[in-house]
Structure 1
């Protein structure tokens, strides 16, 4: 299956024009505020998604854009680590520029929670051009990128891809948001045409209100192409939901060993 993480996508009225495909998929709303004052941020939101632990509540504030050292022990016990420990085939599919990875070192690690969790679980961060990697955004052929993601999702028990271009555009180039939404829609159409299993989720709102560059307190969408075995209330429910969804794959893997 594919876990498609879309950075900075909340639920708002503008999506009727900007991203109608999402509404057709029937998103379930998740609370991204986690009971903490202030605007939700990527570092704590993504850490919560990956671990089931309220990272903002643990710190007492929202933290972004990258999780700091105090959150890394949590990320060492992420969805990636759980799935790998259970013997599932896991792929962090984002492609990275080599020069970016060379700079991503030190105490202030400039890597997202997803990349840090993948690295802590012993998964490689793949370079651009690797046959198993996908650029995380700005695809020349979004439909074809979605079809490739579907092929990868057939070959692995869990494929994770971070799409961060919406959040980037909302902060820096809001006039480009319609293009980014069209790109994401093309990717989803290419993936769904191949019949792949998809779970889409976000960490905080932003791009759904293109008239300002700030994060929002809006709920974020959860979309799953199969029947939801549970309806999480907030970001903490995504990790246990993923465990439940992946259990049939775990059973198959154990039977094949």
Structure 2
């Protein structure tokens, strides 16, 4: 079976090399390898082969102002220009004007339509702490809204303990130290194996890594360079458990942020698109956020 693993990195854009751009450090070997032997900086030289595609995507969607997560992610996960639909960039939560697209055209729903015989062709690998499920006035993010609309279950602390989900920080440190939850911290290598195992059971698996955006906003006291080292180590271990002939690793983002540490706002920079594995050719014509979900659907339609 052909599979696609979608690693969504929140708030990662492409800026020129500078002392304010943590991606300028070419010491991150796996990030460098995934970008076809270049740093995640502009100019981001495109590359396309049967098993590896690298290019940049426009995140502004033809709308003035700074891109935001609500409309950016809605565009990314539906193929609809939701910023244009709303008339502005909006976030961090989904705008009411995007609910119709999220209800009917989110990537999970579209994959389910391709493989209706499978009860769970798509999965969301993130674990959510008990506090999330207890919240009486909880607001959905774009990803959790998509899960609800497509009846994709959210994974909880039991799934995390049993190796069926990942915490947002990969290791579980935040769950232990800030949420006071009784879980075992895990290595980045274990986290990679867990995500690979989840991906083996589904046609498409999404994992959302939002610490990149949190650090960009300085809401988490972690040096950006340290975070990129964590991400690099995790990706190195993840590549070890994937087989490009059967697995595709898709990496992209919704807007820029972390690549410019001179401020804490989002940016209008393009975002990276990296496709490593059999589905790479299906993304060859992608130019902006709205091209990602249609490319996923075309790729999976070809093998289902």
Q: Indicate whether the TM-score tops 0.5.
A: yes
Determine if the alignment matches structure 1 residue 144 to structure 2 residue 190. Answer: yes
**Residue in 2 that maps onto 1:85:** 113
| RMSD of aligned residue pairs (Cα, Å) | 1.8
**Structure 2: gaps of 5 or more residues:** 36-53, 172-185
**Residue in 1 that maps onto 2:90:** 63
> Aligned pairs, how many?
247
**Residue in 1 that maps onto 2:10:** 7
Determine if the alignment matches structure 1 residue 46 to structure 2 residue 73. Answer: yes
**Deviation readout 1:29-52 (Å, 9 max, x if unpaired):** 000000000000000000001111
* Distance in 2, Cα, partners of 1:128 & 1:69: 30
The correspondence for 1:112, drawn from 141, 153, 166, is 141
Alpha-carbon deviation of 1:81?
0.7
**Residue in 1 that maps onto 2:30:** 21
TM-score (ref. length: structure 1) = 0.90
CA contact (8 A) 1:146 1:186 kept: no
Pair 1:83–1:104, CA change in 2 (3 A): farther
**Residue in 1 that maps onto 2:44:** none
**Residue in 2 that maps onto 1:228:** 281
Determine if the alignment matches structure 1 residue 246 to structure 2 residue 300. Answer: yes
TM-score (ref. length: structure 2) = 0.76
CA contact (8 A) 2:165 2:195 kept: no
**Residue in 2 that maps onto 1:33:** 60
* Distance in 2, Cα, partners of 1:102 & 1:240: 35
Pair 1:104–1:177, CA change in 2 (3 A): farther
Alpha-carbon deviation of 1:69?
2.3
User: Structure 1 stretch 62-71 or stretch 212-221: which is displaced more?
Assistant: 62-71
The correspondence for 1:189, drawn from 225, 236, 249, is 236
* Distance in 1, Cα, partners of 2:158 & 2:231: 21
* Distance in 1, Cα, partners of 2:97 & 2:135: 21
Q: Secondary structure at the match of 2:24?
A: helix
* Distance in 1, Cα, partners of 2:187 & 2:303: 30
Larger fraction in helix: 1
CA contact (8 A) 2:114 2:301 kept: no
**Residue in 2 that maps onto 1:180:** 227
CA contact (8 A) 2:85 2:97 kept: no
Alpha-carbon deviation of 1:209?
1.0
CA contact (8 A) 2:169 2:209 kept: yes
